[in-house]
Structures are given as C-alpha cells and as structure tokens.
Chain A
Amino acid sequence: MKALAARRHHRFAPVVLMLLALLATGALYAVMTPTTATADTSASAEDIEAGKQLFQANCATCHGVGAGGADEVPSLIGVGAASVNFQVSTGRMPMQASGPQAPVKPAQFTDKQVDQLAAYVASLGAGPSVPTAEMVDPALGSPSNGAALFRTNCAMCHNAVGAGGALSEGKWAPALWDTTPTNLYQAMLTGPQSMPVFNDANLTPEEKRDVISYLVEQREPSVGGLSLGSLGPVSEGLWVFVIGMGILIGFAVWIGAKSS
C-alpha cells in the first residue's frame, strides 16, 4: 500500500514540480527577492518527501494542499526555510487559533521534523535559508553597533533592551530574552506576523549579527542590579509605591505608636 502511494506520487511529481516552479518564479519576480535568497539545495529528496507528508498532515488545513494560502492565510511559496524554521521551532505554528498574533508555545515537532518541513517548503520556491551558526554567533558581533541599529529599527516595538511591548488592538511585540540567536536572525530576515521584513540590504548579515550580540548582552545577569523586567516606570513605580513607601509608612506608624 505504501509502495503504491509512493509510486503514484512519483508519477505526478514532475508535473507538480513544474507547476510549483512556475508559481515560484512568478512570486519571485513579484516581490523582487534579493539575490541572497537562495533555495536550500542541501536537503535530500527523502527529507522533502517526509516534510511534504508532515505538511499535508499538519499545515495543509489552513495553508492549502499546495501551500498556496487562502484569504487570510499567507502563501508559503517562496517564504524559504528560515521562515518555516522560525515559526515551527518556536511553536508559533501550527497555530492554536487563527489570528494576527501567533503566541510562542512548546514546539510540536522535533528538530529533524522541523528541518524536513523547512526542506519541503524551501523546495516549493526559493526563499531565505536557515542561517549558519557563524552568522548568528553573538561573540563575533559588535554590541555597540548593534545597540545603535536596535534603537533605530527595533526598540520602538521590542523595548530598548528587548523586553517586549504592546501594539494596537491586543497584539504585542514579544520579549526577546529567551529567543535563540538563530530565531532572532530568522525573525529579522523574514518578518513574521506583524513584524516588518529587514532584508540583507536594510540590515546586512553582519549588522544582524551585531543586533543579536547586543540583545544577548542585555540578558541576565543584569549588571545594574534588579531589572524588574526592564519595563520602565510601571514596574519601578509599583516597587517604589508599594515596597518603598510601605516601609516608610511602617516606620512612621512605629514612631507614632505609644510604646507600652
């Protein structure tokens, strides 16, 4: 039975692939994808096949059998392996419910399955591939240049040190404390959900690494002491009003009370 299914796929494969390649070329011209976007050719045919089966079972309900998307669902042709790896490895996809915000949750697939899914989607159309370990190594970046870039491009939504913040109508920009360097790179490159895209002409790969380096530098341990979530006046004000003034009031009551 399994062999029969494989043969049937095999028979239609050239037609399907040709159709998808044409679609991908069209999409490519439409978005003028920069030259850095290259199809991931390292994936084996078995990986692509396994990824296809995972896709049909877990993703096709919304994204369509051919990954072409629908009304409110984006097409995945040409999004590349980086986008799939980001969305699936952080647990954002498959989504619990359709909506503009895809919250992080425990990942549903193993690393190998994520790679297979990414290989399948990358085979549908050229897109950004998963960055190498060297491209995202925080030790190789410049945190000070990263700070300048982060301030201009990211801090308005993600907070000055990446603690996250609110957007309109209940959406939010997530905190970046626990995001892996690879996922940070992928998010900048692919612009997931509400986030805009920062392609390699806008932030070069070196500049992206600088941003990652800056963000990793902001993590615990905090050099300045208790950071209170780095949320600014809200948490600091609460601390001062409740704890600080509470202690002062306590002393005032003690001084005023009649000792027995």
Chain B
Amino acid sequence: MSTHDKNTELERSDVPAAFEDPGLPEHRYRMGDTDPAANKRSERQVVVLFAISVLGAVGALVAYFALPLGSDPMSVRWATLGLGLGLALSLLGIGTGAVHWAKTLMSDHEVTEKRKPISSDQATRDAAVQALVDGARDSAIARRGVLKGAVLSALAIFPLTIAVPLIGSVGGDWNISKFRHTVWRKGRRLAIDPSGRPIKASDVTVGSVFHVIPDGMRDEEHWMEEKAKAVVLLVRLDERDLKGDQSPSGETWSYDGIVAYSKICTHVGCPVALYEQQTHHLLCPCHQSTFDIADGAKVVFGPANRPLPQLPITVDAEGYLVAQDDFAEPIGPSFWERLK
C-alpha cells in the first residue's frame, strides 16, 4: 500500500525536482521615500524624540540639585523619583529616536550577503595535522615511558589543589547528632521572645499566646542557631477544651491548661505561628499545614506528616514556667538519619 503511494508521488509531474531560490520579495517603498513632506515629518519626529532625551537629562540634573537627600525620609522618595524619571526619559528618548530614525529615514533596501565557508582549505588542514605528528615524534613520548608516567601524574594530581579546598569549604561540620537536641534542659526557664523576661504560670491567661525562647538564650555559643531550633509557642487553653497532649502515660507535660509546642514545622521547618484562638488551630504560613493545639498538635490539614513535638513543662518554686527536659524527639522536618 505504502509502496504504491510512494510510486504515485514520484510520478507526479507538477512537483519540481528541486525548489528554486524565490529571491527577494519586491521592494515596497515607504511613504517617506516617495513623499518629501512625510520624510520631513519623520525627521521632525526624530528631533522631538532626541529633544525629549535632552529635557529628561536636564530634568535629572535639576532634580539632583533641587531635591537633595535630607533628614526627612520623604526626601529620599522625591529625590529618587526625580532622578529616575529624568534618567528614564533621557535613555528612552535616545533609544526610540535612534530606532525611529533607522526605520523611517535610513535606506531600507534589502541586500544579500553570501555566507563564507566555515572550514579551511585542504592544504591548511594537512599542514596542521603534520605539525601535530612532528611534535609528537620530536617529544618521543612513545619511547620514554618514565616521562609519560611523570607528565600524566602531574596532570592527574594538579586538580586536587582546586577540588580539595572546594569540597572542604562545603561544610566542615558533619555532626548529625545536634539535630536531635536543643538547648532545653531540665529546670530551664521559659522566657519571652525577644525581651527575655521569664514567664510566670499565672501570667499566662486563657487564650494567650507567648512566643518563647530559653532563658539566657544570648549566652549560648552560636545562640542564633540554637534559637532557631529551640523556639516554642506557649498557649493556655481552657482545660475543658484540652482534649489531650503528647504526655506518655504516667507523666504530665502540660501545666494547668498551658501547653508548649515547638514552633518549627515538621514539614520543611517554617516557623508555625498563626494561632487561631477560637478553633485552637495553629497554621503554618508556608504550606498551610494546620495543627490542633487542643489535641496534641495533631496534623488536621496540609502536607506535614507528624505533630509538632511538645516541650514538657512544669513550674519551679517561684512560680516560673520551666522545662522538664529537652524535646523527646528531634524537632523540625525529617532528615535521613532521623529513622522514623
């Protein structure tokens, strides 16, 4: 069937054996080419565009001197606006003027320029190959085995001077175990972020949200990194609303309706802090994972896979809230070595 089609196609007489170069289309004259008045009008338009450019440049200079940067922040706004507008008009005038000039006044006759061949002629190519062959014979690399070994070793070892520092500076610290711990310890007080005031249990009224850091956070080595792991959201619920928390049997991790959960999302580690008082839902702004604070921070919506780890809390002799211990599990998103 297909053979038959092919044959009939080949036999068709109205299709030429080879297509001919159709050549350039017929030149169409512009209005300015035939009408001197239109030509003059285009010239005036170009002049106007360049004049706009000059005015813009002068305007920018005037703005620079007339609108100095003062102590009032609003002066920055006006100075920037003046300079920017002048600069924009100046460049826009040059650009549009040049394009308009080229399109309306310069010759627009089509010309053809033949492409030059890319490869060199045969004699030059033969000479180049011969030079390489002569060089290889002169170095006698085929006979001198030690020399060959030496040069290959040198070339192979040299890249290490770049590769080793490059890999070394990717990160010197491969200690995974610190992902498992935060600076929370037994008896460490809960303090308000950012003021650092310790929090009394009686200060936390129902419906309150406290953004919490460990007391004395700034004295830690690398305190900002430690803070990024240790931040906690403290909420007090009406105890009738509290359905449960993460306390294992025999322990109490919350105190009088006050619960503390890690603020680092278990999805990809954004700070989860959009707490809705009425629904007790805690929303992550990045991917809308929603946790139910009244029910052990269980995931009720979104891509997070685990509840937020709970910080076990209690009060000390002076009535301040303190941690019972570090978090029972690693905070934040999953990592390979987490193993659960």
Residues of A within 8 A of B (CB): 30-34, 100, 148-149, 152-153, 156-157, 165, 167-168, 171, 173, 191, 193-199, 201-202, 207, 221-225, 251, 254-255, 259-260
Whether B199 and A148, one on each chain, are in contact in the complex, defined by CB atoms closer than 8 angstroms, is no
Tell which of A33, A173, A193, A225 has the most Cβ of chain B within 10 Å: A225
- Which residue, of A156, A207, A222, A254, has the highest number of chain B Cβ atoms within 10 A? A156
Contact B208 A202 (CB under 8 A): yes
13 additional contacts (CB under 8 A) given A198-B209, A199-B205, A254-B99: A100-B278, A153-B211, A165-B285, A168-B274, A173-B274, A194-B276, A194-B279, A195-B277, A196-B235, A199-B203, A202-B208, A224-B77, A255-B99
8 pairs across A/B with beta carbons < 8 Å? A168-B281, A191-B207, A196-B209, A198-B209, A199-B203, A221-B77, A223-B76, A254-B99
Main DSSP-derived SS at the A contact region: loop
Q: Given A202-B192, A207-B195, A168 and B277 touching (CB < 8 A)?
A: no
Is the CB–CB distance between A168 and B81 below 8 Å? no
Residues 81-124 of B at the A interface (beta carbon under 8 Å): 81, 96, 99, 103-104
Residue of A at shortest CB range from B199? A201
Report the interface size class on chain B. Answer: 35 or more
Q: Once bound together, how far apart are the Cα atoms of A202 and B76, in whole Å?
A: 37
Query: What A residues does B285 contact at CB under 8 A?
Result: 156, 165
Contacts of A255 in B (CB 8 A): 99, 103
Residues from 219 to 277 in B contacting A, C-beta threshold 8 Å: 235, 271, 273-277
- B81, B235, B273, B288 — which one has the most chain A CB atoms within 10 A of its CB? B273
The docked-state distance in angstroms from the alpha carbon of A221 to that of B76 is 12
> Which residues in B have their C-beta under 8 angstroms from that of A34?
202-203, 205
Distance in angstroms from A154 CB to nearest chain B CB is 10
**Does B314 belong to the interface (CB within 8 Å)?**
no
B301 proximal to A (CB < 8 A): yes
Tell me the bound Cα distance from A63 to B192 in angstroms: 35
Q: Is the CB of A196 within 8 A of B73?
A: no
Residue interface bits B17-53, CB-to-A below 8 A is 1, else 0: 0000000000000110000000000000000000000
Cβ–Cβ contact A196 & B203, under 8 A: no
Distance, CA A113 to CA B290, complexed state (A): 40
Chain B residue at minimum C-beta to C-beta distance from A191: B207
Q: In the complex, are the beta carbons of A196 and B279 less than 8 A apart? A: no
The interface residues of chain A lying within 8 Å CB-to-CB of B305 are none
Q: Please, which residue of chain B has its CB at the minimum distance from the CB of A101?
A: B278
In the A-B complex, the 6 residue pairs with the smallest Cβ-Cβ separation, listed nearest first, are A201-B203, A196-B209, A194-B276, A156-B273, A197-B207, A223-B73
Is B206 among interface residues, defined by CB-CB distance under 8 A? yes
| CA–CA, A156 and B202, complex, Å | 26
B288 to chain A: which residues have CB within 8 Å? 168
In contact, A168 and B203 (Cβ under 8 angstroms): no
B135 within 8 A of A: no
A133 and B303 alpha carbons, distance in the complex (Å): 46
Residue from the list B74, B80, B104, B275 in contact with A196, Cβ < 8 A: B275
Task: Tell me the B271-323 residues at the A interface (CB within 8 Å).
Answer: 271, 273-279, 281, 283, 285, 288, 290, 301
Chain A residues, CB < 8 A from B103: 255, 259
> Is the pair A157, B278 in contact by a Cβ cutoff of 8 Å?
no
